[in-house]
Chain A
Amino acid sequence: MNTINRTAFSNLKLNKGRNIMAGIAILLTTLLIFVIPAIGLGTVEIDMAAANKVYPTFHVMYRNVKPDTAEAISHRAEVETAGLRQDPAMIPVPDGTGWMVYMDDTARKLNKTKLEEGNFPKNGNEIAVSNGLLKAMGITAGIGDTIELPYQPVEADGVGYEKKQEFVITGLLPTQKDSDDSGIYSAMVTRDFVEQEQPASVRRYRVMLRVAGAESMTTDEIKDIYKQIALEMGISEADIADNSIYLSANYRDPSLYAGIAGIMLIVILAGIMTIYSLYYITMIYKVQEFGKLKALGATKRQIRQIVFREGMLTSCIAIPLGLIAGSIAASIGYRFLLSAYGTENPLRPVVIELIENHEVTLLKPWIYVMAAAVSLLTVVCALIRPMQIAARISPVEAMRYDGSMKTKKKLRRGCPEMTLFRLTGANLSRNKKRTVMTIVTLSLTGILFMVISTVLSCADPEEIARDSVFDEFQISVNSRTGDKMHPELEWSVLCKNNPLNRDFEKQVMNIPGVEKITKASLLQVELPDLMDGDETWKTGIIGIPEEYADKMQQTVKEGSCTYEELQQGDKILIDENMLSYIPGTKIGDTLRVVIRSGNNLIPKEFEIAAIADMPYGMNHLSFLVLPNSVIHELAGLEMDYYWSVAADQKRLQSVEKELKSLIKTNELLELKSYEDEVAYNEKNTSFLSQLCYVFMIVLGGVGIMNLINTMVNSIYVRRRELGIMQAIGLSEKQLVRMLQLEGIFYTAGTLLLSLGFGNLLGYLVFLYAKKNRMFGILSYHYPAAQTVVLIIVILTIQLLLTYLIMKNFRKQSMIERIRLSEA
């Protein structure tokens, strides 16, 4: 070991207390730097892994693709894999339908088609069937058996005449649970069978494909690519079916990455400031020692190296410990995340399975390397200034150095009489820059705490729930827009046979406890002047019931209009959120709509009367609003879509039970209760807040290290001065009072800044969150409890610190302290 290392090493041991604190700060910083990306990215990854496991993994399926086009698609560079599917024939199943399906290996893989038993059919008349299908057909057979099945081949204009053929069962497909109810079955057949039934000239494939390099693409980029391929290969828009469930499960939110980076930046800054101030303050009382080293011949570089290596040695211990702590914390964090996964989430069991079987590694090597490197860099950044200070000291200056801070000030106005208070004030104002820096550093955590607290306290679960569910229950129609597989679920089709009809109303009203139904309607329209991608914009106009007339008028923010004016039928009210979709929209503009009523398209023009900011319970996320009566008139039908059901508070349970059983008979209806909505929001906010507060506690730990260091050092540096004061008459009580006063000053400063800036910033963040409807925030709630907690925590720490420091201070006698001056 050379001299520099030895000196650094012995310094490490000598400054044990300080190095332990620096070590804790480095450890906590490393922990956060590790845990934040580990959990943040891990969550995304695990979600995606689960989605990959559960859902078919193709991005898009093109229908009606000719064999040669299919071949060409599979060779394109943008395509990672492409699989073929063909349904050559229909099986006439009593009370249902069966499809003979052919899929190539890739398609089976992409579609996650698995067998319960046996093998997929390969040649000739081999087949894989489900037990459900066999049962429905009244056949008893197993693998290896030959069965005779009737089928009708698919032809250009429908299905052809029934044929019969013998098939050899090679495998058993799992019976879908819902096929018993729906009566839809499938059987896997071979390519030979497809070729036998369909000549290449009429054969049309479905091509399922994955876009290459999708891992690093946003969902929109993926969509752009497959649309472009379709365009170039002459596949019509109508034949593109995206695998939306998989795409949305794999949705990557760019703001997540920005968020992770932002939080890490805060952690790094807090780390740098704490570690910096720990080492910087040590320099002050190590000046003499470095001076002596210099006098003995150490070069600037060597002095810098001593400081640097001491820091590095501390890091060598603290960073690995931080990584270990981080691994434990991240693992616990994941468990916690799992418990926060909504029980209704279909991915939940898969996620649990993935984690338990260690199929997804949450603690990735690169995160360890990254966290260690970033922490080390943090320490290096924090060390630069102390290294410079240590290196700059001249030997002569250092010998004379008595620990007092050099100020350029020559005069002080002072006071004619001295009091303890003024004495404290004089000390604090001695180095104003340092005092301010200390308070600012300590306040950063406090400010962050207040901002987070404000956001969390504004996210009031009951308020958010009440915003979207006005009464106790909401029944709505479960229609689907733009689902090419199920055009019958379009609202324009469903409304002709609206499940929310008079009969159903009677049934609901007959439930004991139900008091009132308030009905809102919905009308599907197209906005011919506006494009959504390549198509005209399709949206809905909400029909507001007369009961909400006053409420509606109160939400108007710009312009003015009454419910009665709207009832005239030529004016329309728009919600603010339309401005974010269609910027530049203003009052007085004419809005052209085309109403789709069954197969009829009726054009209509409205003047925009006013802009409102409506609760979700009123606009149901639509941005166009008319009175119910106008919708009725336009559609020529009752277009009830949302029923808000008020019920007796005492009979909520029984009402809910009855409503549920009513809804159960009609899968086109959906029931939402206020209580469920509250529970859902509570779960969301409590999860979010627990995560935030845990983060704050760790970051607070870093801040506390800083506070301890500041206090301890301010006493340590001045120990001789304090000894002198005692010699000339400062009693111990006065000394404690003086330290307390200093502490109170720091505390008050920290609180003032934390609360002042914290509340101000918190309010700004609230305004932003409200505007963007983040976390469902609606109105400002002052985080009173959190404020009290912050005050108590800071005061307690301060008092505790003063007490501990005094206890430590007493260990040294006054004489020992004064002697320092004679040494």
Chain B
Amino acid sequence: MKTMLLETEDLCKYYGSGENLVKAIDHTTMDIQRGEFTAIVGRSGSGKSTLLHMLGALDRPDSGKVRIEGKNVFELKDEELAVFRRRKIGFIFQNYNLIPSLNVWENIVLPMGLDKKKVDQTFVRNLTERIGITDKLKSLPSTLSGGQQQRVAIARALASKPAIILADEPTGNLDSRTELEVISLLKACVNEYGQTLVMITHDETIAQMADRILVIEDGKVVSQ
């Protein structure tokens, strides 16, 4: 039996004012079950990324609520939110966004370090084996290919065993062969570790791999 992990309630986020008012998120209500793989699709500028940022508690909404495991995250103070984020959410960005001064291993264990948690060495080693970057652990990000970098980013998102993985077009910068590999890997891992994946994508094929597709148009969820 699946349980509710994440839900939004009448979520709004507007930018600008008057004629320039952009309704990035407009009264959106939705929910995501634990263990589910959800793809969010929509045109450029439809509000996908803004929604994902709200779900990941990176940005505060103008109104409405985001509940993760039943808790309204925006009731938390910034400091508590940072802690909540690093424990519950893993992010994967389009540009990989690895820290250039740290090697692969350090990039992966950084969220745990920031949380002052002891690194589960066996788990992280298994993870790196699973995604095939064991021989690159001491390399600096700049020496890796795009696909490799994104694998590291995936490992970083998974390593602290968060409940939710939020991925913002994780394959946007990759060629189509690597793209499929990375998504398959991501999906397999999420399944293996029982995590919930929410992914923004442009790609129909990838969207089809999801358990559920949310279509966003002008800041509203138009079909689920």
Please say whether chains A and B are actual partners in one complex: yes
Contact of A732 among B49, B78, B95, B111 (CB under 8 A): B78
Contact A721 B82 (CB under 8 A): no
Contact of A734 among B114, B119, B139 (CB under 8 A): B114
Chain B residues with CB under 8 A of A730: 82, 86, 114
| Size category, B interface | 35 or more
Contact B99 A727 (CB under 8 A): no
Chain B residues with CB under 8 A of A727: 56, 58, 85, 91
In the complex, whether A429 has a CB less than 8 A from a CB of chain B is yes
In the complex, whether A111 has a CB less than 8 A from a CB of chain B is no
Contact of A416 among B83, B90, B93, B105 (CB under 8 A): B105
B70 to chain A, nearest CB (A): 21
User: CB-CB contacts of A704-730 with B at 8 A, as 1s and 0s?
Assistant: 000000000000000011001111111
Q: How many residues of A contact B (CB 8 A)?
A: 42
In the complex, whether B113 has a CB less than 8 A from a CB of chain A is yes
Contact B138 A728 (CB under 8 A): no
User: How far does the alpha carbon of A795 sit from the alpha carbon of B138 in the complex, in Å?
Assistant: 36
User: CB-CB contacts of A789-823 with B at 8 A, as 1s and 0s?
Assistant: 00000000000000000000000011100100110
Closest to B119 in A: A417
User: How far does the alpha carbon of A211 sit from the alpha carbon of B83 in the complex, in Å?
Assistant: 86
Contact B139 A410 (CB under 8 A): yes
Chain B residues with CB under 8 A of A416: 105, 109, 119, 121
Say which one of A230-238, A401-409, A464-472 lies at the interface with B.
A401-409
In the complex, whether B110 has a CB less than 8 A from a CB of chain A is yes
Closest to A728 in B: B111
Contact B118 A728 (CB under 8 A): no
Chain A residues with CB under 8 A of B116: 419
User: How far does the alpha carbon of A117 sit from the alpha carbon of B87 in the complex, in Å?
Assistant: 102
Closest to B138 in A: A411
Contact B110 A423 (CB under 8 A): yes
A688 to chain B, nearest CB (A): 47
Contact B59 A732 (CB under 8 A): no
In the complex, whether A337 has a CB less than 8 A from a CB of chain B is no
Chain A residues with CB under 8 A of B82: 726, 729-732, 734
Closest to B124 in A: A416
In the complex, whether A77 has a CB less than 8 A from a CB of chain B is no
In the complex, whether B206 has a CB less than 8 A from a CB of chain A is no
A343 to chain B, nearest CB (A): 63
B90 to chain A, nearest CB (A): 8
Contact of B140 among A402, A410, A818, A822 (CB under 8 A): A410
In the complex, whether A254 has a CB less than 8 A from a CB of chain B is no
A734 to chain B, nearest CB (A): 6
B10 to chain A, nearest CB (A): 21
In the complex, whether B156 has a CB less than 8 A from a CB of chain A is yes
User: CB-CB contacts of B107-144 with A at 8 A, as 1s and 0s?
Assistant: 00111111110110100000000000000001110110
Contact A426 B86 (CB under 8 A): no
Given contacts A407-B140, A814-B58, A815-B59, contact A729 B102 (CB under 8 A): no
Contact A429 B114 (CB under 8 A): no
Give the interface centre of B79, B97, B118 by most chain A CB atoms within 10 Å: B97
B89 to chain A, nearest CB (A): 9
In the complex, whether B53 has a CB less than 8 A from a CB of chain A is yes
Closest to B96 in A: A821
User: How far does the alpha carbon of A721 sit from the alpha carbon of B99 in the complex, in Å?
Assistant: 7
Contact of A411 among B111, B119, B140 (CB under 8 A): B140
Given contacts A410-B139, A414-B105, contact A815 B83 (CB under 8 A): no
Contact of B86 among A409, A412, A415, A728 (CB under 8 A): A728
B13 to chain A, nearest CB (A): 10
Contact of B106 among A407, A414, A728 (CB under 8 A): A414
A275 to chain B, nearest CB (A): 28
Contact A414 B119 (CB under 8 A): no
Contact B156 A728 (CB under 8 A): yes
Closest to A726 in B: B82
Contact B83 A417 (CB under 8 A): no
Closest to B100 in A: A404
User: How far does the alpha carbon of A404 sit from the alpha carbon of B100 in the complex, in Å?
Assistant: 7
Chain B residues with CB under 8 A of A422: 106, 113
Chain A residues with CB under 8 A of B28: none
Chain A residues with CB under 8 A of B160: 729
Given contacts A814-B59, A822-B94, contact A413 B142 (CB under 8 A): no
Can you name 27 A-B residue pairings with CB atoms under 8 Å? A402-B95, A406-B142, A409-B140, A410-B139, A411-B143, A412-B101, A412-B138, A413-B138, A416-B121, A417-B118, A418-B110, A419-B116, A420-B113, A420-B114, A422-B113, A423-B99, A426-B102, A729-B111, A729-B114, A729-B115, A730-B114, A732-B79, A813-B59, A814-B58, A815-B58, A821-B95, A821-B97
